[in-house]
Amino acid sequence: MKKKSSTNELRLSSNERLFLENTSPFNPKKYSNLTPNGFKIYTFKSGFKKFHDDLLIIIFDEVIDSINIYSKTSTPSAPILWDKKNNKGKVKALIVNAGNANAHTGNKGIKIIDEYVKILTKLINCKKSEVLVSSTGVIGETFNPNIINKQILKLNNKKPVDLLTAAKSIMTTDTYPKTSIKNIVIDSHKIKIYGIAKGSGMIMPNMATMLVYIFIESKIQKSLMKKIIKNNLDDTFNSISVDSDTSTSDTLFLFCTNHKKANFNIKKNFNLLNLALFNIMEDLALQVIKDGEGLSKLIKVNVSNAKTKSLAKNIGFSIVNSPLVKSAISGEDANWGRIIMAIGKTQEKIDQNKLKVFFGKNLVCKNGSINKKINLSKINKYMKKKLIEINIILNNGLKKHTVYGNDLNYEYLRINRDYRS
């Protein structure tokens, strides 16, 4: 149980409130970390947060290729609008602030970005079009760009930091930093692939999710970069939901640093890269969902034997996003009737007389009605686990999909009731 916040603590920015409380029950015991090749990382305490670094600046050794993926929200933040207008996939620098989303701030929000980007480009001698920006935090508030400008001017006297420090600097309501690292060997070259992410609430992605930055220490053709992202996005970041809310700031950037060279046109090499990137994206996505605001349980919904993958995915999301299902899981109640409801409200064409629902390996309903041989003591024991798997067998096709979510409890309500606006 998390410690109740005092009135003074609740006046702190959303970034820091949870730093004063216990972490997620899935908090990693160890964090992946490294010092990168091909770029340098700098973090600063600029004032968006009261006690922690809140500004991340990454400077690449040379101009490199990026794949930029953004939220499909109809109310995109100023950074997303700015990036789409100015950056076409060539990058020298990334700058990220945490504590203010610079979202729904009108033309003033764009001008704020223009000002601090101008300072940065002069300092590192690059073009405006070679910069990417991101922001995360409270929506609807502007800020004085001098908060960031003053930190940029300190770059030349600042020592670079590691990947874990970078992940910490972009946290808001996150209770732990999110990093992931994989190594592959291509043509006798050891190539590192790694990433950082932030996200805890306002999580139901569409196209990308939260803030995610992934780095491949190799030169890769742009067409192959696009292909590996497209291959892996749907089964990772597009298959999680904390609260069904898509952020105004959701962003994923994939960077190739040119540090090593390898031939990824060879199928074997491409497959190794593709699998490694999938592992990174899956790991980061699961770290985000395991850090969902206020969660006490992780929900995994496997929908199988569906006519189409999209049908399976739609049903999976309907289940993990249902407040009734989420609250039942929180209360350790195997209320399968709510799952039937969540399946039905999708209006997907299924045969309910073929439908089977399991909690873990415990069959609770089949052939259109309750399983009369339910072992209640086994199910009640299962529902006390931290990870609850709900298995749906539709028996009308060969497709499947897995979606992750979490429970809904008083802690989620408390966090968002007290969120500063």
How does residue 208 score in pLDDT terms, banded at 50, 70 and 90?
very low
Which are the catalytic amino acids? Answer: 209
State the alpha helices, DSSP H only, in 331-408: 336-344, 376-382
Residue 227: predicted pLDDT: 96
What superfamily in CATH does domain 7-290 come from?
A: L-amino peptidase D-ALA esterase/amidase (3.60.70.12)
The H or E element containing residue 254 is strand 251-256
How does residue 152 score in pLDDT terms, banded at 50, 70 and 90?
very high
The number of CA neighbours under 13 Å toward the Cβ of 117 is: 25
Q: What is the mean pLDDT of the chain?
A: 89
Residue 414: predicted pLDDT: 73
| DSSP reduced 3-state for 143 | coil
Spatial distance between the Cα atoms of 114 and 116, rounded to a whole number of angstroms = 6
How does residue 295 score in pLDDT terms, banded at 50, 70 and 90?
confident
Spatial distance between the Cα atoms of 212 and 237, rounded to a whole number of angstroms = 10
Side chain identity, residue 15: N
pLDDT of residue 409 exceeding 70, the answer is yes
> Among residues 86, 84, 154, 160, which one has the least CA distance to residue 119?
154
% of the chain with per-residue pLDDT over 70: 89
- Which pTM was predicted? 0.89
Write out the residue limits of the CATH 3.60.70.12 domain(s) in the chain. Answer: 7-290
> Among residues 78, 65, 140, 85, which one has the least CA distance to residue 111?
78
% of the chain with per-residue pLDDT over 90: 75
Go through the chain and tell me how many residues it has: 421
Look at the alpha carbons of 406, 165, 249, 4 in this order and tell me if their dihedral is positive or negative. Answer: positive
pLDDT of residue 193 exceeding 70, the answer is yes
pLDDT of residue 235 exceeding 90, the answer is yes
Query: How does pLDDT run across 24-76, given as a tens digit for each residue?
Result: 788 888 999 999 999 999 999 999 988 899 999 999 999 999 999 998 888 89
Write out the residue limits of the CATH 3.10.20.340 domain(s) in the chain. Answer: 298-417
Q: 336-344 and 309-320 are packed helices; what angle lies between their axes, rounded to 10 degrees?
A: 130
Which of the two residues, 151 and 20, has the higher pLDDT score?
Answer: 151
pLDDT of residue 207 exceeding 50, the answer is no
CATH of 298-417, one of 3.40.50.1220, 3.10.20.340, 3.40.50.620, 3.40.50.300: 3.10.20.340
Residue 49: predicted pLDDT: 86
Tokens of 208: 């990308």
Other C-beta atoms closer than 10 Å to the C-beta of 134 total 27
Residue 242: predicted pLDDT: 66
Residue 412: predicted pLDDT: 72
pLDDT of residue 174 exceeding 90, the answer is no
Phi (first) and psi of residue 339, to 5 degrees: -70, -40
